[in-house]
Every structure is written in C-alpha cells, then in structure tokens.
C-alpha cells in the first residue's frame, strides 16, 4: 500500500471514529443540493461527500463549492436515509476528503457496517427510526451486502 493510500485509509478510520463519537455527519449544501464529485475509481459514478467535522467540510467550500455551507445531520439519518438511499441509487460515500478532494470512496453499506461495528466496539446503541433496532439495521445491511 502506498503512503498516499495509507493516508486515505487513516482519514477514513478517523471519519468512522469521529462520527461515532459525535453522532453527527457533515456535508456541504447549497439550498437542497449536497456537494458531489465524480468518482476517480469508477466511470459514471457520483460520490457524495461527507466529513466527520465541520472544519473538514468548510476546508472544501471553495471553487465550484464556494457558495456551499457546512451542514450537519444526525448519524441515524446518515445511516438510515443517506447510506441506504445512496446504495439504491448506486452512489458512493466520499469520507473526509481533503481540500485537494482526495479521500476514500466507499460503498454506502460498507460505511454503514463500519459505523455499526465501531458503535458496538464502544458499547453504543443508536435509536433508529425506520428499524426496530440497531441489530435489525445491521442484519439488513449484511444481508444486502451478501446478496451482491
């Protein structure tokens, strides 16, 4: 693994850890539009960008996103609405991209499972709105990933 790839993995691990700690996820928005980028890994695939901290989002509010502002959502909303919805729409999560727009591109259900794994490691349980429990959410994510 190159040093660059190691840094990207470190940024991703920081994203997972911080969103579990704060139970917030940050994005850049302009009205109802969220900042997206084309995937550098997959042709014709969009990446929606998310950060674990407001400062990370703010650092990317330049150039084409100069008029965008950081906005946070709850971790539950991110998991239930964004990750599940993005999976259905075949979009990727861009986690903690830097100001050069370099960062991890990940399948949304993989991100969701990584978050749930970290929640369990810390003994935390979220109150889901669309699932009976965190365990049910996890089971359905695993089932969907295994069906691929």
Q: What is the pLDDT of residues 6-29, one digit of tens each?
A: 788 999 999 999 999 999 999 999
d(CA 52, CA 24): 7
pLDDT digits (tens, 9 = 90+) for 37-68: 999 888 899 999 999 999 999 999 998 899 99
Binning pLDDT at 50, 70 and 90, where does residue 127 land? very high
Reported as a single tens digit per residue, the pLDDT across 30-40 is 998 999 999 98
Say how far apart CA 54 and CA 91 lie, in whole Å. 22
Decide: 65 and 71 in contact? Cβ < 8 Å. no
Question: So what's the pLDDT on residue 3?
Answer: 63
Which residue ranges make up each domain of the chain? 3-147
Single pTM value for the model:
0.94
């Amino acid at each position: 693994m190159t040093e660059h790839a190691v840094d990207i993995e470190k940024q991703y691990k920081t994203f997972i850890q911080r969103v579990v700690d704060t139970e917030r996820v940050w994005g850049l928005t302009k009205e109802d539009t969220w900042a997206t980028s084309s995937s550098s890994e997959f042709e014709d695939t969009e990446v929606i960008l998310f950060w674990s901290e407001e400062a990370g989002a703010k650092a990317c509010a330049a150039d084409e996103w100069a008029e965008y502002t950081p906005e946070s959502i709850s971790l539950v909303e991110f998991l239930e609405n964004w990750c599940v919805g993005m999976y259905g729409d075949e979009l990727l999560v861009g986690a903690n991209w830097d100001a050069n727009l370099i960062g991890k591109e990940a399948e949304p259900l993989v991100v969701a499972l990584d978050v749930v794994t970290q929640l369990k490691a810390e003994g935390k349980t979220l109150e889901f709105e669309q699932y009976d429990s965190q365990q049910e959410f996890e089971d359905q994510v695993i089932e969907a990933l295994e069906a691929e």
